[in-house]
Structure 1
């Protein structure tokens, strides 16, 4: 990829097969190593193995992460994966390959993925970094590729790099800020400051009844405690908690009268010594997926926890909702 005068660059790499993939990613990694730049690769496991083999001995000089695990929840990719790596190398330009969207991302996950790609542009504005995002043109919906043209200022296709004339990432952030429907049978609890412990116990009792593994109960308790406390402190003093099971997940949803005005809320790493402001960030770290809808009428935060362990052979839905 040609050098740029801009401190931050964010290209989308469109590839059709493994040959295309290596042609677009391998020189990117090797160029970073040759320039003395720290390099990280966070891609799905199959692609990670492909790149590791192609890099040979140089693989030991690259931070390699399986995005199917590290980025299962798109909401934690910016703080934990991208900023986590960049912040570990202060004063140095970094190169990162991040592939957050692959065949098998569910329709429920996709809006959070698209918003993540859009928000990278805000999270890294003015920073010395290049984040290359591969997109599989043979397996992803055309609607997904169209969104990639909106969230990335630069496109690379068939070895040709060009500016995207569709670039407008804030349209994706607002366009996927959609109301979240819930099933009619969801269990409901209204809470205020006096009932915060009740909300936590309410969620835990249903988590146990629905079969959530015992070692995830603390995750649910902490996530619900953070969200309901935020409601009391920032969301009008009260809120409503719903809990239900959906597609092998326990779902906990909190709704209150507050409005989120910061699109990067929950996606900034906590600063050393920071007091407060960690609630939504912690929820992103604990959950397998987080969806948010905010507007004048209030804010809904929904977090998902897998009910059973399984190999990440992901489901085949790829159409946005």
Structure 2
């Protein structure tokens, strides 16, 4: 499975694939840990971290600061063995979070990996919330075989009932103060995302800049660069935008109808870009989460694109296939 190895605007490289465990004795384990009281972190999480360290696991922790401090305090000297990662860095964007998990498997091929992480669930951003839930739903499929245990913390006191319900659908095993059990609400990735397959995406708002996809990709990249400048896209975002559009346009030309459009606009500070294929064959909202054959020479486009943008939505049907990419606004310091 190919892994994106480092990310710079306009620069992309792929490393060799992460090896999975072939023995069948160990594989990917995905737990939803629901914290209902202040003592649950101490009772449900710390013992599992302590056991993982004793077993020689590589342990990564990416949680909110209060939870990080509590874990450090509870472990004492053993805390020095933890790989503490800033939560905002770990949960940068769904595609990049998945790439990070792949890199962990690649970096520690002979050890089991335990990850304690607290997913970012933005209640005020419906697109982001859905895409983060979608990532959780697909992890068991795309990381199957990796010797990894992922404990996803959810503070029940902070999450609305609907969000907790979705988390129960995306985690096969639940850990609560009442114990550990299989989630009766768990759904496989295709079922979880079925509702999104044929839904039309909202129409663009504001000023929309559009150009046609044509076979000359170098010329198209130049046109997209000019289009981005015309649309007032900050220079820091142009490189990733052009690369992502190039990958999707190549797919339209090689695997789709061979013609379509590129549309670009701003929405609440975000940079949004549609790549429309007049063919309607792309209907899988999970495409791009599954790395392709590492020995192949093509097929990486959507895997790469998910890592270049923050969120990627897919809508397809008889009307054609549409991929919508969301790029974050540039920080105010820029």
Q: For the superposition of Structure 1 and Structure 2, which TM-score range results when normalised by the shorter chain?
A: 0.7 to 0.9
The within-5 A match list for 1:225-304 is 225-256=246-277, 257=279, 259-260=281-282, 265-268=287-290, 275-295=297-317, 297-304=319-326
- What is the deviation of 1:172? 1.2
Equivalent of 1:193, from 215, 230, 238? 215
Equivalent of 1:69, from 86, 89, 96? 89
What is aligned with 2:182?
Answer: 163
How has the CA–CA distance of structure 1 residues 17 and 52 changed in structure 2, closer, same or farther, with 3 Å as cutoff? Answer: same
What is aligned with 1:135?
Answer: 154
Residue 216 (1) aligns with residue 237 (2): yes
- What is the deviation of 1:183? 2.0
Whole-angstrom distance in 1 between the partners of 2:273 and 2:59: 37
What is aligned with 1:13?
Answer: 33
* 8 A Cα contact 1:37 1:95, kept in partner: yes
- What is the deviation of 1:230? 1.5
* 8 A Cα contact 2:63 2:117, kept in partner: yes
How large is the RMSD of aligned CA atoms in angstroms? Answer: 2.8
User: Which sections of structure 2, spanning at least 5 residues, go unmatched?
Assistant: 1-24
User: Which sections of structure 1, spanning at least 5 residues, go unmatched?
Assistant: 312-321
How has the CA–CA distance of structure 1 residues 310 and 68 changed in structure 2, closer, same or farther, with 3 Å as cutoff? Answer: farther
Residue 82 (1) aligns with residue 104 (2): no
Whole-angstrom distance in 1 between the partners of 2:231 and 2:65: 30
Whole-angstrom distance in 2 between the partners of 1:208 and 1:45: 39
Q: TM-score, normalised by structure 1?
A: 0.83
Task: Output one character per residue of 1:215-237: Cα deviation in whole Å (capped at 9) or x when no partner.
Answer: 32211111111111111111221
Aligned to 1:192, the other structure's residue is in SS state: coil
Aligned to 2:184, the other structure's residue is in SS state: coil
Residue 40 (1) aligns with residue 77 (2): no
Equivalent of 1:95, from 114, 129, 133? 114
- What is the deviation of 1:35? 0.6
Task: Output one character per residue of 1:17-65: Cα deviation in whole Å (capped at 9) or x when no partner.
Answer: 5543343322222111111111122334554455445444433322222
- What is the deviation of 1:157? 1.4
Task: Output one character per residue of 1:130-177: Cα deviation in whole Å (capped at 9) or x when no partner.
Answer: 111111212222111111211212111115111111122232122333
Whole-angstrom distance in 2 between the partners of 1:81 and 1:255: 29
- What is the deviation of 1:122? 0.5
Moved more, 81-90 or 15-24: 15-24
Q: TM-score, normalised by structure 2?
A: 0.80
